[in-house]
Each structure stands twice: as structure tokens, then as C-alpha cells.
């Protein structure tokens, strides 16, 4: 029997209930008002009520500032500023609360979603100090019917092997691969509906009001209520949008934009800071490649749907408006862009996985969990991107190795389940996976 600490109520309610059925104990230290509506845990306390003046975790400011906390990176890389002293002191107070809660309840295992938010990072640090196991959860790479549960981390930090030799030994069940790579084996999952985005927006609004009234800490800093509302409306209205009318060129390289504030960019893109740099770099080296090889490859860029209402790239569009080799798209079928391309260049997007599923050659420019020799070509020196493009286009894709990698990822590493809403199938599968890791 283990004692679990969950740090996100809404995401873990059914998992907690399933683990309790199996004689484990599940605790929740709540940081947001909305979490107090849950009754899915053995015990629950509100973190704010445990904060006391003078009680701070003993850690140097400089050491705390080294934590891979999303809020810190967002302030530094997006807002070009530094974390305020009061934020650092607040985090120390909550570290004290988390440590005390772990000790009082004999916590063995901490479960976090993504793991980059400040709450999770503070808990992860303390878990390491106490030699506790941490389980990281995220939506899987074959969405919406897979989930990640890993005791090392997610994405580039995950336990997914990056050794080519590992995948050579994977045995593929061809019929299973062909039938279920992108759909669930358990057909009941198909009929589940994802939680409506509006309910999530309302929870965010409660959180913002709670923060303004000093009834909870500021959990998120990167999106305002207005941002969430715009994203919600974008999702609802996109089906009514006219697709970009364009005839795709015969030979082109597809480059998908990524969310400007995503952890994949903030933490795992050491060579490229943002999409502006991505465009400039790719255009420069594709031009260099074209001149050296007397080719005429075009480059097709597509904005990420989540950023369309939040980030304006008009300055970028104006810069390249007279360049006939560059195409920018907002509303276009990503699958078609992948399928008709000759090559996909990405920083570390999951679009790279979709490209592999379509047996497209892929170049990565950042730290991706699928940076595996023989599967993608990772360009770790931007100044040699033109050479990398030439090598990749002239190479033969090892389809057998790609299939082995995709098979391992889908059927051996990921959990089958639907993260979008609480359901027994998913919670049972996740609980089974958890018990193999503890």
C-alpha cells in the first residue's frame, strides 16, 4: 500500500478513486479554490490555510531560481524580465507547506501533470530530497486516446529510449499496428466526449478571482482570462473559417509553428528562441541549399492554432511578402501539408511524430524525445542546416525502424485512455500502469 500526493484535482479524481479501491491512500494538497469541490481523496487540505508568517523552506534564492519552473522561464524568455522577490519568498513558504504535508502524511509518491508549473517543481525538489518517487502525466502522442505516465519526466526528459539499437529488437504485431495505431483498442473510448472548454474557462475565472481576492496563489501567469476566452472562441469558430485557398507547390518543406510559450520551446529549444528565429533560420538555409544544389524547394509555414488569436506575426509576413519561395498559412489541413511535403523540419513538435506515421523524412532543431539515429535527422548545429537538408533529402527512410519505434511508443510505452474526461476505463489502465512503476 502506498500514500499518493496529487497536485491537480480535476485531472486525477478518477485515478485517485481507483487507487483507493486497491487499498492505496490518496491525498490532495489543493492550491486552487476549484479543487475544494472534489471528494475523491482520502484526505484534502487547502495549502493557503497552512501558510504561516515566518515559515519558509530553507533554500538560497539563487538555488531556487535555477529550478526549471515554467513561470521563471516565461518571465525571462517571453517577458524579458526577472522573477520578483515577493514571488521567490512566496514559493519558499509553499515549499515549507509541501514538506510539512509530505511528512505529516507519510507520502511515498507524488503525481504531477507535466511537472513544469511552480507548484509541481517545488514538490519535485522536495521529493528528491526525501528520495520519493515522482510520476509525471501528460496527454499521449497519439491523441486523444493515449496518456503518458513516466517516472523520469515527459517529452525530452522522459524514459523513452533514444538508442537505435533498442528499437531494432522491438517485435511488431503488424495487424495490431495497422488497426490500432491511431485509434483505441477499447472502442468504448471513442464515444467519450472531452470536457467542454467553457467549463475550463470558468475554472480559470474562479482562479483569477480567487487570486485577486488573495484566496489562492497565482498558479498561472502566461494566459489571462481574455486569452482563455479567445482560445475557446477560436476552437468553436474554426470550423466555420474558410480554409486558406492555395495550391501547394510540387516540392516544398513543411515547417509547423509551435506554441510560443510551450515548455517545448522554453526548455527544450536551445538553438531557437521563438518562431521568428525559426523562420529566419529555415529560410536562410533552404535558400543556401537551393543555390548549392540548383533546386527550388519552397517552404510552407503554418501557425499553431492556439496562437492565432494571441500572437501576431504580421511583421514577419511583411518581411517575406515579396519572397515567392515562402508560404505562410493559418487555416489549412496539417495532415495534407505533411502528406504532400518532401521533408518536415520542426523544433520538437509532435507534428514530427505524425510525419513519421506518414513515412516522411524529419529534421529536428531542438531536443525531441524522438531524436533517434535512423528515425530522424537531428541538426545540433544550425550553421550546418543546409548540409543536413541535403543529407536528409538524399537518404532513404528506414521504414522498418520507424515502425518499431511507433509500435513501442503506442503499444508499450503509452497508456490507452481518454484524458479529456473522467472515465473508468482510463482510470483502470492508469492505475495498472502506476502499480508497475511503484
At which residue does the C-alpha cell 478513486 appear? 17
Please tell me whether the overall predicted TM-score, pTM, comes out greater than 0.95 for this model: no
Q: Which three cell numbers stand for residue 204?
A: 480559470
Q: How many helices (H) and strands (E) does the chain have?
A: 18, 13
Q: Which three cell numbers stand for residue 268?
A: 527544450
Which positions ≥6 away from 241 have C-beta within 8 Å? Answer: 331
- pLDDT at position 172: 98
| Number of C-beta neighbours around residue 383 at 10 A | 11
Query: Is-contact 341 361, C-beta < 8 A?
Result: no
| Angle subtended by helix axes 424-437 and 9-21, to nearest 10 | 70
Please state whether beta strands 133-139 and 298-302 pair in parallel, antiparallel, or not at all (unpaired).
unpaired
Q: What is the DSSP string of 329-367?
A: ESSS-HHHHHHT-SEEEESS-THHHHHHHTT--EEE-S-
- pLDDT at position 37: 74
pLDDT in tens, 258-285: 999 999 999 999 999 999 999 999 999 9
Q: What is the DSSP string of 239-304?
A: GGSPPP--PPPSSEEEEE---TT-HHHHHH-SS--SHHHHHHHHHHHHHHHHHHHT---EEEEE--
| Number of C-beta neighbours around residue 5 at 10 A | 24
Question: Per DSSP, what are the bridge partners of residue 133?
Answer: 109
Distance between CA atoms of 280 and 402, rounded to whole angstroms? 30
Q: Which three cell numbers stand for residue 325?
A: 519561395
Sheet holding 109-113, edge to edge: 43-46, 25-30, 3-6, 109-113, 133-139, 146-150, 415-416
Distance between CA atoms of 214 and 49, rounded to whole angstroms? 11
Structural fold of domain 252-409: Rossmann fold (3.40.50)
∠ Cα 326 331 332 (to 5°): 75
- pLDDT at position 209: 74
∠ Cα 407 357 138 (to 5°): 65
Query: Is-contact 42 29, C-beta < 8 A?
Result: no
Of 303, 264, 255, nearest to 283 by C-alpha is 255
Which positions ≥6 away from 254 have C-beta within 8 Å? Answer: 300, 302, 337, 338, 341, 343, 344, 345, 355
Query: Is-contact 345 152, C-beta < 8 A?
Result: no
Query: Is-contact 253 286, C-beta < 8 A?
Result: yes
- pLDDT at position 214: 77
pLDDT in tens, 103-119: 999 999 999 999 999 99
Low-confidence stretches of the chain (pLDDT beneath 70): 9-11, 193-204, 222-244
- pLDDT at position 237: 59
Residue-range domain boundaries for the chain: 3-192+412-437, 198-239, 252-409
Amino acid at each position: 500500500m502506498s500514500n499518493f500526493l496529487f497536485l491537480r484535482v480535476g485531472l486525477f479524481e478518477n485515478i485517485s478513486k481507483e487507487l483507493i479501491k486497491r487499498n492505496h491512500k490518496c491525498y490532495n494538497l489543493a492550491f486552487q479554490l476549484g479543487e475544494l469541490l472534489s471528494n475523491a481523496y482520502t484526505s484534502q487540505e487547502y495549502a493557503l490555510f497552512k501558510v504561516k508568517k515566518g515559515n519558509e523552506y530553507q533554500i538560497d534564492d539563487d538555488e531556487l531560481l535555477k529550478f526549471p519552473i515554467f513561470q521563471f522561464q516565461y518571465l525571462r524568455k517571453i517577458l524579458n524580465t526577472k522573477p520578483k522577490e515577493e514571488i521567490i519568498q512566496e514559493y519558499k513558504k509553499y515549499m515549507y507547506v509541501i514538506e510539512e504535508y509530505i511528512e505529516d502524511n507519510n507520502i511515498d509518491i507524488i503525481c504531477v501533470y507535466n511537472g513544469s508549473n511552480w507548484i509541481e517543481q517545488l514538490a519535485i525538489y522536495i521529493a528528491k530530497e526525501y528520495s520519493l518517487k515522482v510520476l509525471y502525466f501528460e496527454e499521449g502522442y497519439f491523441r486523444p486516446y493515449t496518456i503518458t505516465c513516466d517516472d523520469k519526466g515527459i517529452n525530452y526528459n522522459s524514459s523513452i529510449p533514444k538508442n537505435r539499437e533498442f528499437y531494432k529488437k522491438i517485435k511488431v504485431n503488424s495487424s495490431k499496428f495497422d488497426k490500432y495505431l491511431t485509434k483505441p483498442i477499447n472502442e468504448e473510448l471513442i464515444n467519450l466526449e472531452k470536457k467542454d472548454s467553457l467549463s475550463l474557462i470558468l475554472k480559470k475565472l474562479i482562479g483569477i478571482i480567487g487570486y485577486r481576492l488573495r484566496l489562492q496563489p497565482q498558479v498561472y501567469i502566461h494566459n489571462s482570462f481574455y486569452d482563455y476566452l479567445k482560445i475557446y472562441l477560436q476552437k468553436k469558430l474554426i470550423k466555420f473559417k474558410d480554409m486558406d485557398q492555395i495550391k501547394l507547390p510540387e516540392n516544398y518543406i513543411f515547417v509547423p509553428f509551435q506554441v510560443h510559450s510551450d515548455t517545448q520551446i522554453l526548455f527544450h529549444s536551445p538553438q531557437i528562441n521563438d518562431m521568428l528565429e525559426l523562420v529566419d533560420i529555415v529560410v536562410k538555409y533552404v535558400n543556401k541549399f537551393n543555390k548549392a544544389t540548383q533546386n527550388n524547394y519552397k517552404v510552407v509555414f503554418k501557425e499553431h492554432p492556439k496562437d492565432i488569436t494571441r500572437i501576431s506575426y504580421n511583421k514577419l509576413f511583411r518581411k517575406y511578402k515579396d519572397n515567392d519561395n515562402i508560404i505562410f498559412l493559418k487555416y489549412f489541413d496539417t495532415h495534407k501539408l505533411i502528406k504532400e511535403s518532401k521533408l518536415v523540419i520542426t523544433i520538437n513538435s509532435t507534428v514530427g511524430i505524425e510525419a513519421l506515421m506518414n513515412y516522411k523524412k524529419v529534421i529536428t532543431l531542438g531536443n525531441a524525445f524522438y531524436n533517434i539515429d535512423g528515425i530522424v535527422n537531428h541538426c545540433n548545429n544550425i550553421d550546418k542546416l543546409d548540409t543536413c537538408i541535403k543529407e536528409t533529402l538524399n537518404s532513404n527512410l528506414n521504414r522498418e525502424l520507424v515502425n518499431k519505434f511507433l509500435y513501442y511508443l503506442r503499444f508499450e510505452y503509452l497508456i490507452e485512455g481518454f484524458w479529456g474526461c473522467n472515465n473508468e476505463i482510463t482510470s483502470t489502465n492508469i492505475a495498472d500502469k502506476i502499480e508497475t512503476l511503484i
